[in-house]
Amino acid sequence: MNITHINYVLEVHACGSINRAAKNLYTSQSNLSNAIKRLEMELGYKIFVRKNNGVSLTPEGEFFLESAIIIRDEANRIQNVPLLFKDHKNLSIVCNHSSLCMQSLIMFKKSNPDNSIQDFFKETSLITARKDIIEQRYRLAVCYCFSQRLAYHTEIALRYNLKMEVLYQNIPIMALMSKKNPLSKKAELTIDELSKQKLVCFEDFECDNWLRNLGILETNNVLYIFDRGGLAEAVRKDNYIALVMNDPLQTKEMEDCISLPITKTKASLDMFLLQPRNYILNNREKSFIKFIKSRLREVHQKE
């Protein structure tokens, strides 16, 4: 068994079909099928159940898949080790959805111009941002999580040999809505009021943590969105109420919307920085971290 076999299994599982996986892997169906069969003979158990409409995992295959994902990720990390020790001078940042992070980057670049440097910035989900750091696609991640889940994310960082630094804590969660929404005339909203509305929130966290951590236990009227643009469209065009991190910059950009505080909830968000533990920050990265810490204090201490 080698890493190629592991990648074969992962691709077949992702596609649910040996034929479709073979096309993605640029090999023939027979070659891929035979490779999987030889691997199963070597292991002494079946990984897949073959069906007329595709394949599914056996119980043994499910256990194999869990370990295979870890092995693939670790192999990718090993291959990318040299990237950590190049003489980087640029920013390489991934973050979960935040207008404040994007605006902070723009402000930083304006105050620290350097046409010889090409910075990289990606906005995605929390889980993907962490994965990008683990697999060393990006060097720094600016993330936020529920305050009550910070210990869990600290444990994950330790498990993957990541350095984690808390940037700011106890940021409120707000209800963002169109000014045309009748509830926009209120000074604040309760959890009971929200649970009766159409809600939209980012698909950032595992399962329904947004709702569960806020105390909204029973509602099926929820739309999970992967990007800020989609969330804004749902709020503006279809009268959804968005559950988001308090972000005055985002509210300012959306002049036709308003953010209201949510009462009777203890949920809040913490922002933190992730980086590979052995990575040495360059001067531009050090300056940006100092800058975004200052911006967080400036924005949230005004509230």
| Cα Rg, the chain, nearest whole Å | 23
Q: Name the CATH topology of 3-79.
A: Arc Repressor Mutant, subunit A (1.10.10)
Per-residue pLDDT tens listing for the chain (303 residues): 788 888 889 889 988 888 888 888 888 989 999 999 999 999 999 999 988 888 899 999 999 988 888 888 777 777 666 655 556 788 999 998 888 888 899 999 999 888 888 899 999 988 889 889 988 889 999 999 999 889 989 998 988 889 999 999 999 999 999 999 999 999 999 988 998 899 998 876 554 467 778 888 766 688 888 888 898 999 999 999 998 888 887 777 788 999 999 988 888 999 999 998 888 898 999 999 999 999 999 888 765
Neighbours of 283 (CB within 10 A): 9
Interatomic CA distance for residues 259 and 176, integer angstroms: 4
List of residues 6+ apart from 18 with CB closer than 8 A: 12, 29, 32, 33, 36, 54, 55
CATH number of 81-303: 3.40.190.290
Structure tokens at 217: 């236990």
Neighbours of 194 (CB within 10 A): 21
Please state the domain extents for the chain.
Answer: 3-79, 81-303
Structure tokens at 203: 């698909």
Report yes or no: 251 and 303 within 8 Å, Cβ to Cβ. Answer: no
User: For residue 150, which of 171, 125, 136 has the smallest C-alpha distance?
Assistant: 171
| 3-state class (DSSP) for residue 123 | strand
Predicted TM-score (pTM) of this structure: 0.69
